A and B are shown apart, each in its own frame.
Chain A
Amino acid sequence: MSSPTTAPTALSIQRLSKHYGRTVAVQDFSLDVAAGETLALLGPSGCGKSTVLRCVAGLERPDSGQIMMEGREMTGLPPEARDIGMVFQDYALFPHLSVLGNVAYGPRMRRAPRAEAERRAREALALVDLSGLEHRRPDQLSGGQQQRVALARALATGSGLLLLDEPLSNLDEKLRHELRGELKSLLAQTRSAALLVTHDQREALAVAGRVGVMRAGQLVQVGPGPDLFARPATAWVAAFLGHANIFKGPNGTARVVPEQAVRLGAGDSYHITAQVLTDSGSEVTVDHPLGPLRLHLSPREHGLIKGGQLSVQVDEAGVLQVPDDRGPVEAQSRAGR
């Protein structure tokens, strides 16, 4: 994607806060999404990520803060004045309209004549590979097809900003895996900016260019997915992103041992205290001086185990020193959606 000299921000969220009664849903949240960029907001359920999305869409009114789109102030505007395309977690397809009627709804509400609206709807449906199903009703479609209709409906608005709320979470694992790839290439094709909300780190890494990690209403870390995984800012982020080896250090710090810092078949031998077979090999726990080291071994690496011992060398330079924030902060994040 070619970026012009002064890359305009498609969406700029500044110091957003939102309370429900006495619970804090979002607190002092700031984030920019560049034109054409896909950004995923990742966090456990109840962390406030959906509230951010609903504030951007205009479905919730923030207590304070600003929402700008392409430099224009949007904070007080109703949803229909914001020109966005949104995909809901439950799809929210109109049960009384056909597939075509659903997808043409956005253009129609933007005052396109019927023929023009239907042409754009057909284009969007072709984009998600659903041509031929225009006259079905939503309840006659499979879950995957309904998801595509919801996507096509958001795309047909032609809006420069797409909002996706857990778009794949209602699908089974296999379908989700297929659609992640499709979603990424589709978003690249449309050249729209997209803000995606998800609790699934694989989805965030597969679809988005940048990932923002949220916890208890606040943005903890934001950056390109691989960077985030390689250099988590805190122990909590490391744990949330799936790091297995995080050990408590002195003075409120923690040591994170990434997989690439561990060399197998070299150095001292240690006892194996636990062993579990997985679909792609095995997972063993090694009694290492740093702490119980959990390692994932391929079947070939599994052959390195000799008499209940495995030789392991940890590259000290690769071990990350991070603040340990894995406390009970979750208590305040009980946010209603």
Chain B
Amino acid sequence: MRRTAPAGWLVALPSLAFLALLLALPLGRTLLAGGIQLDVWTQPYFQGRLAWTLTQAGLTAALAAALGVPLAYLLSRYRLPGGQLLLRLLLLPFVTPVLVAVLGLNALLGPQGWLNGALPFQVSDGPLLILLGNLFFNLPVMIRLSHGGFSRVSPSLLGAARTLGASGWRSALSVGLPLALPGIAAGTILTFLYSALSFGLPLILGGARYATLEVEIYTLTAYQLRLGEASALIVGQLALTLAATWVYVNLTGRGQGTPAYTLPRAAGAPLWLGLGLMALVLTLCFAPLLAVVARSVLGAAGPTLSYWQAVVSDPQTGRELGNTLRFGLWALAGATLLGGLHALGAYLARSRLLDLLSMLPLMVSPVSLAVGYLLAYPRQAATLPMLVAAYVLLAYPLVTRSLLPALRALPPHTLEAARTLGASGVQSWRTVTLPLTLPALRGGMALSLATVLGEFGATLVLTRPEWATLSVGLYERLGRPGERNLGEACALATILLALALLSFWLLDGGEGEVT
């Protein structure tokens, strides 16, 4: 089958229509509703919000790079004990719902946290908690993308540097680092973007003093109905994210394919440095998860099952669980269809623009989107299809992002070979393309299901009491004080985490590659 632009755009048409109706139109309505009052950017208060948003995102990216890049390099060059396991485990934070991470950090370092008294300084309401939360989600992104970048550097290039007189460190810095730069830069930019746009973390952990732009948009629209000011913030945020996204897409479009070779066993300095970094990463990324599970069975008075009993006996839990699963599966079906078509279209059309368009939903704030739905479709506002459509919009880019690299990495000429052997166009896609890209498709599906299961921002705006999901139930319990509520929230969070893990295990089977 020839790869032609018109056919590609035609295949991508459904997802483009969906983007127009559920992203461009609502967003446009939000922006138009109050007029864009750009003068908010002259107010010191909003300038401060912007400065803090950029500062925390920049700090997170710098910290993630400082920790992640050396570890990724060591993992790509040496066999470290448990290294491969760590790379697989790092998928876990990817699929962790935001609220679960928030709870984990709360359980460790919050006002009632276990470590709160043990540390010499107070972290419970400081920006440190937000940074830790950002690192929890983004360190894995950083490590996996950098590792991909370093893995593409052939070991013979580093060997050549060594024979020319460079030490191990010099060869890593002068040859390995520049060649892996696209991967590293992509990881840094993505980390910066995700941190700049995060909503749940700063909303709950930051309080009024450390609110980011996204939280400010939520407060302005959902509570104060100051749409004009919110619109100006949304426009500023969009400009920022579009620029960063463009750079990211350009960086990741280059080269792929990992040379297969056996790594030497690590010894000496690389071993100890590697183990140290691995321990640090493990702590940052898994301590909050362990804390959530532990907190659900440990009260101040010792081990207890009372939190679980309360949660299980509450009829609301069953309803929330049912809703979460039902909405999740519906959204998964829609996301697979639209995301698959979009990836196929971008592949056939070889279009950078289509590639970029599929990133848009990831980069637009779910809160401003949900507000746009209320404005653009007032009659459908409180209907279930609206909520599910929002989920599909947020989830389908993940299918596209996973599938597209796999399509592009198809060995050259395999489709042509199938055609010369007698397969028709459709047959060759079914017998060659589908089996070769299925692991990536399943990985993308797993990611989108996990995302929907834990979705929180859009849900908060669009939901009705009878459609409460586990995330909503969790958020409500978080809002109430007391140790009992924290314990029960942790029990709910454990269920949510188990659900996300299960969906990932069922769909992905530990095979797929995601980033």
Which residues of A approach B to under 8 Å, CB–CB? Answer: 57-59, 78-80, 82-86, 88, 90, 92-96, 105-106, 109-110, 153, 157, 163
Contact = CB atoms under 8 A, between A and B. Distances in A.
Given A90-B412, A92-B411, A92-B412, A80 B417 contact: no
Contacts, number: 71
A300 to B, nearest CB: 44
Contact of A105 (B412, B425, B431, B436): B431
A85 B420 CA distance: 7
A88 B422 contact: no
A198 B237 CA distance: 57
Interface in B399-430: 411-414, 416-425, 427-428
B257 to A, nearest CB: 12
Contact of B422 (A80, A94, A96, A163): A80
B425 A94 contact: no
A-B pairs with lowest CB-CB distance, top 4: A109-B422, A92-B413, A79-B419, A92-B417
Given A88-B413, A90-B412, A95-B411, A78 B425 contact: yes
Contacts of A86: 417, 420-421
A110 B414 CA distance: 18
A88 B419 contact: no
The interface residues of chain B, by DSSP majority, are classed as helix
A106 to B, nearest CB: 4
Contact of A157 (B412, B416, B422): B422
A137 B428 CA distance: 19
A99 to B, nearest CB: 14
B255 interface: no
A163 B420 CA distance: 10
A158 B423 CA distance: 15
Nearest to B439: A96
Among A58, A80, A82, A83, the most chain B Cβ lie within 10 Å of the Cβ of: A80
A157 B431 CA distance: 17
A59 B428 CA distance: 14
A137 to B, nearest CB: 13
Given A58-B419, A59-B419, A92 B414 contact: yes
Given A96-B436, A105-B431, A109-B418, 16 more contacts: A58-B420, A59-B419, A78-B424, A79-B420, A80-B421, A80-B422, A80-B427, A86-B420, A86-B421, A92-B412, A94-B417, A94-B436, A95-B414, A96-B435, A109-B421, A110-B422
Nearest to B414: A92
Contacts of A106: 421-422
A57 B425 contact: no
Given A94-B432, A109-B423, A79 B416 contact: yes
Contacts of A59: 416, 419-420
Contacts of A88: 413, 416-417
A109 B427 contact: yes
Contacts of B423: 80, 105, 109
A88 B414 CA distance: 9
A90 B421 contact: no
A90 B420 CA distance: 15
Nearest to B411: A95
B421 A105 contact: yes
In which size bucket is the chain B interface? 20 to 34
Nearest to A157: B421
Among A79, A86, A153, the most chain B Cβ lie within 10 Å of the Cβ of: A79
Contacts of A84: 420
A79 B425 CA distance: 10
Contacts of B413: 88, 90, 92
Contacts of B436: 94-96
Contacts of B414: 92-95
A96 B437 CA distance: 10
Contacts of B416: 57, 59, 79, 88, 92
Nearest to B432: A94
Nearest to B434: A96
Contacts of B425: 78
A157 B418 CA distance: 12
Contacts of B417: 86, 88, 92-94, 153
Among B414, B422, B427, B435, the most chain A Cβ lie within 10 Å of the Cβ of: B422
Nearest to A86: B420
Nearest to A156: B421
Given A90-B412, A90-B413, A92-B411, A78 B419 contact: yes
Contacts of A153: 417, 421
Nearest to B1: A78
A106 B417 CA distance: 10
A154 to B, nearest CB: 8
Contacts of A92: 411-414, 416-417
Interface string B374-408: 00000000000000000000000000000000000
Contacts of A82: 420
Among B411, B420, B423, B436, the most chain A Cβ lie within 10 Å of the Cβ of: B420
Among B423, B425, B436, the most chain A Cβ lie within 10 Å of the Cβ of: B423
Contacts of A109: 418, 421-423, 427
B475 to A, nearest CB: 44
Contacts of B427: 80, 109
A80 B424 contact: yes
B116 to A, nearest CB: 53
Contacts of B411: 90, 92, 95
20 contacts: A57-B416, A58-B419, A79-B416, A79-B419, A79-B420, A80-B419, A80-B423, A85-B420, A88-B413, A88-B417, A92-B411, A92-B412, A92-B416, A93-B417, A94-B418, A105-B418, A109-B423, A109-B427, A153-B421, A163-B420
Contacts of B421: 80, 85-86, 105-106, 109, 153, 157
Interface string B198-234: 0000000000000000000000000000000000000
B419 A83 contact: no
A72 B177 CA distance: 58
A94 B421 CA distance: 12
B431 to A, nearest CB: 7
A96 to B, nearest CB: 5
B435 A57 contact: no
Interface in B312-367: none
